Amino acid sequence: MRRLFTLAAAVSLLLCLITVVLWVRSLFVGWNFRLEGVNFGTTRWGIWIGKIKGPIMGWEPVIDPPIYFGGLFRYLNRPNYIRIFIPYWPVALVLAILPLFGLIGEFRRRRKRRDGCCHVCHYDLTGNTSGVCPECGTGVAGKAGA
Protein backbone atom coordinates (compact mmCIF):
# COMPACT_ATOMS: atom_id res chain seq x y z
CA MET A 1 0.00 0.00 0.00
CA ARG A 2 2.89 2.35 0.77
CA ARG A 3 4.39 1.77 -2.69
CA LEU A 4 1.12 2.74 -4.35
CA PHE A 5 0.98 5.91 -2.24
CA THR A 6 4.62 6.68 -3.06
CA LEU A 7 3.92 6.26 -6.78
CA ALA A 8 0.83 8.47 -6.59
CA ALA A 9 2.76 11.09 -4.61
CA ALA A 10 5.62 11.03 -7.15
CA VAL A 11 3.23 11.49 -10.09
CA SER A 12 1.41 14.25 -8.21
CA LEU A 13 4.70 16.00 -7.43
CA LEU A 14 5.76 15.79 -11.09
CA LEU A 15 2.44 17.28 -12.23
CA CYS A 16 2.73 19.98 -9.57
CA LEU A 17 6.22 20.90 -10.78
CA ILE A 18 5.00 21.00 -14.40
CA THR A 19 2.15 23.29 -13.35
CA VAL A 20 4.53 25.64 -11.52
CA VAL A 21 6.92 25.71 -14.51
CA LEU A 22 4.01 26.53 -16.85
CA TRP A 23 2.86 29.20 -14.40
CA VAL A 24 6.28 30.88 -14.28
CA ARG A 25 6.69 30.52 -18.05
CA SER A 26 3.28 32.10 -18.67
CA LEU A 27 4.49 35.28 -16.97
CA PHE A 28 6.87 35.79 -19.90
CA VAL A 29 5.45 33.79 -22.84
CA GLY A 30 1.84 32.99 -23.69
CA TRP A 31 0.50 30.50 -26.20
CA ASN A 32 -2.76 29.87 -28.04
CA PHE A 33 -3.87 27.06 -30.33
CA ARG A 34 -7.05 25.59 -31.76
CA LEU A 35 -7.93 21.90 -31.87
CA GLU A 36 -11.23 20.53 -33.26
CA GLY A 37 -13.05 23.84 -32.77
CA VAL A 38 -11.81 24.34 -29.20
CA ASN A 39 -9.40 27.17 -28.41
CA PHE A 40 -6.71 26.76 -25.76
CA GLY A 41 -4.34 29.35 -24.36
CA THR A 42 -2.58 30.84 -21.37
CA THR A 43 -2.73 34.12 -19.56
CA ARG A 44 -0.48 35.38 -16.78
CA TRP A 45 -2.44 33.49 -14.12
CA GLY A 46 -4.00 30.46 -15.75
CA ILE A 47 -5.11 28.38 -18.68
CA TRP A 48 -8.26 29.10 -20.63
CA ILE A 49 -10.36 26.88 -22.85
CA GLY A 50 -12.85 28.46 -25.26
CA LYS A 51 -15.63 26.91 -27.34
CA ILE A 52 -18.07 28.37 -29.82
CA LYS A 53 -21.63 27.28 -29.08
CA GLY A 54 -23.99 27.32 -32.04
CA PRO A 55 -23.37 29.06 -35.36
CA ILE A 56 -20.52 31.52 -35.70
CA MET A 57 -21.96 35.04 -35.53
CA GLY A 58 -18.83 36.79 -36.78
CA TRP A 59 -15.30 37.34 -35.63
CA GLU A 60 -15.41 41.03 -34.86
CA PRO A 61 -12.80 42.20 -32.36
CA VAL A 62 -13.82 42.01 -28.73
CA ILE A 63 -14.42 45.55 -27.53
CA ASP A 64 -16.51 44.93 -24.44
CA PRO A 65 -14.76 43.41 -21.42
CA PRO A 66 -15.71 39.86 -20.53
CA ILE A 67 -18.19 39.19 -17.73
CA TYR A 68 -16.72 36.77 -15.18
CA PHE A 69 -19.03 34.14 -13.63
CA GLY A 70 -17.06 31.74 -11.41
CA GLY A 71 -14.56 30.58 -14.00
CA LEU A 72 -16.73 31.23 -17.06
CA PHE A 73 -16.24 34.19 -19.37
CA ARG A 74 -19.07 35.30 -21.60
CA TYR A 75 -18.24 38.07 -24.02
CA LEU A 76 -20.92 40.73 -24.39
CA ASN A 77 -20.67 40.95 -28.16
CA ARG A 78 -20.25 37.17 -28.63
CA PRO A 79 -23.13 35.45 -26.84
CA ASN A 80 -22.32 32.09 -28.46
CA TYR A 81 -18.68 31.96 -27.23
CA ILE A 82 -17.85 30.59 -23.80
CA ARG A 83 -14.43 30.54 -22.15
CA ILE A 84 -13.46 28.56 -19.05
CA PHE A 85 -10.54 29.91 -17.05
CA ILE A 86 -8.52 27.62 -14.74
CA PRO A 87 -6.06 29.47 -12.47
CA TYR A 88 -2.67 27.85 -11.85
CA TRP A 89 -2.53 28.22 -8.06
CA PRO A 90 -5.44 25.90 -7.10
CA VAL A 91 -4.14 23.22 -9.46
CA ALA A 92 -0.65 23.45 -7.96
CA LEU A 93 -2.09 23.45 -4.43
CA VAL A 94 -4.20 20.32 -4.98
CA LEU A 95 -1.32 18.51 -6.69
CA ALA A 96 1.00 19.34 -3.77
CA ILE A 97 -1.21 17.67 -1.13
CA LEU A 98 -0.08 14.04 -1.66
CA PRO A 99 3.65 14.84 -1.75
CA LEU A 100 3.22 16.96 1.38
CA PHE A 101 1.57 14.09 3.29
CA GLY A 102 4.31 11.73 2.06
CA LEU A 103 6.99 14.13 3.26
CA ILE A 104 5.34 14.49 6.68
CA GLY A 105 5.08 10.70 7.00
CA GLU A 106 8.73 10.24 6.07
CA PHE A 107 9.81 12.80 8.69
CA ARG A 108 7.76 10.95 11.32
CA ARG A 109 9.27 7.59 10.34
CA ARG A 110 12.81 8.99 10.49
CA ARG A 111 12.16 10.63 13.85
CA LYS A 112 10.92 7.34 15.30
CA ARG A 113 14.03 5.54 14.05
CA ARG A 114 16.24 8.25 15.48
CA ASP A 115 14.49 8.54 18.83
CA GLY A 116 15.36 5.02 20.02
CA CYS A 117 12.37 3.13 18.63
CA CYS A 118 12.32 -0.31 17.04
CA HIS A 119 12.57 0.09 13.26
CA VAL A 120 10.00 -2.70 12.67
CA CYS A 121 7.19 -2.09 15.18
CA HIS A 122 8.19 1.39 16.47
CA TYR A 123 8.20 0.22 20.09
CA ASP A 124 10.00 2.65 22.41
CA LEU A 125 13.33 1.05 23.37
CA THR A 126 14.37 3.62 25.97
CA GLY A 127 16.15 1.77 28.78
CA ASN A 128 16.35 -1.54 26.87
CA THR A 129 19.72 -3.18 27.47
CA SER A 130 19.02 -6.65 26.02
CA GLY A 131 19.56 -5.70 22.36
CA VAL A 132 16.20 -7.32 21.39
CA CYS A 133 12.86 -5.56 20.99
CA PRO A 134 10.46 -6.96 23.63
CA GLU A 135 7.46 -6.30 21.37
CA CYS A 136 8.45 -8.07 18.14
CA GLY A 137 11.74 -9.81 18.96
CA THR A 138 13.83 -7.98 16.36
CA GLY A 139 17.48 -7.47 17.14
CA VAL A 140 18.34 -3.85 17.76
CA ALA A 141 21.67 -2.69 16.37
CA GLY A 142 23.96 -1.00 18.84
CA LYS A 143 22.06 -2.13 21.95
CA ALA A 144 23.62 -5.56 22.56
CA GLY A 145 25.89 -5.69 25.58
CA ALA A 146 25.06 -2.16 26.67
Q: pLDDT value at position 75?
A: 53
pLDDT in tens, 39-61: 888 877 788 787 766 555 444 44
67 closest CA partner among 79, 59, 55: 79
Give the mean model confidence (pLDDT) for residues 75-80. Answer: 56
| Mean pLDDT value across the chain | 76
Q: pLDDT value at position 31?
A: 78
Give the mean model confidence (pLDDT) for residues 132-140. Answer: 85
pLDDT exceeds cutoff 50 at 37: yes
Q: Is 0.85 surpassed by the pTM of this model?
A: no
Q: pLDDT value at position 97?
A: 94
Q: pLDDT value at position 94?
A: 93
pLDDT in tens, 81-123: 677 788 888 889 999 999 999 899 888 877 766 667 787 887 8
Contacts of 119 (CB under 8 A, 6+ apart): 113, 138
State which H helix or E strand residue 7 sits in. Answer: helix 2-26
pLDDT exceeds cutoff 70 at 68: no
pLDDT exceeds cutoff 90 at 13: yes
16 closest CA partner among 100, 84, 85, 80: 100
Q: pLDDT value at position 55?
A: 54
pLDDT exceeds cutoff 80 at 25: yes
Strands (E), 13-66: 32-35, 38-42, 46-52
